[in-house]
Copies of this chain bind each other. A is one copy, B any other.
Amino acid sequence: MSVDDGQLDRAFAALGDPVRRAMIARLSRGPATVNELAEPFPITTQAVSRHIQVLEAAGLITRTRDGQRRPCHLVPATLEALTSWIDEYRLETERRFRRMDAVLNAMKEQEQ
């Protein structure tokens, strides 16, 4: 809820880039401006600005205004939507594996 399929597309794809993942990691420790986020990377501020736009379009961050700065803030709810999606299928798979194990064990019992 609150994230449609297109948002899932954009959010997962956004996390597929190591630069953007590093930005997420940085933002988990507090808000940061474009220049602050750009600092660790050997790329132009423009490139970073576009990475930020991608993260914003994905709903992974929001932006506020502080004079001429545009600080970025992580949105944990969107991260949570991603883990929820993944966990749904991971848990189903693990349940299935456990059922399969049970069947195999039962067959082993039978054999003896």
Contacts and interface: CB of A to CB of B under 8 A. Distances in A.
Contacts of A24: 89
Contacts of A80: 90
Interface string A23-40: 011011110000000000
Given A5-B18, A8-B21, A18-B5, A74 B89 contact: yes
A3 interface: no
Q: Does more than half of chain A's interface fall in helix, strand or loop, or is it mixed?
A: helix
A16 B16 contact: yes
A93 interface: yes
Nearest to A97: B76
A11 to B, nearest CB: 8
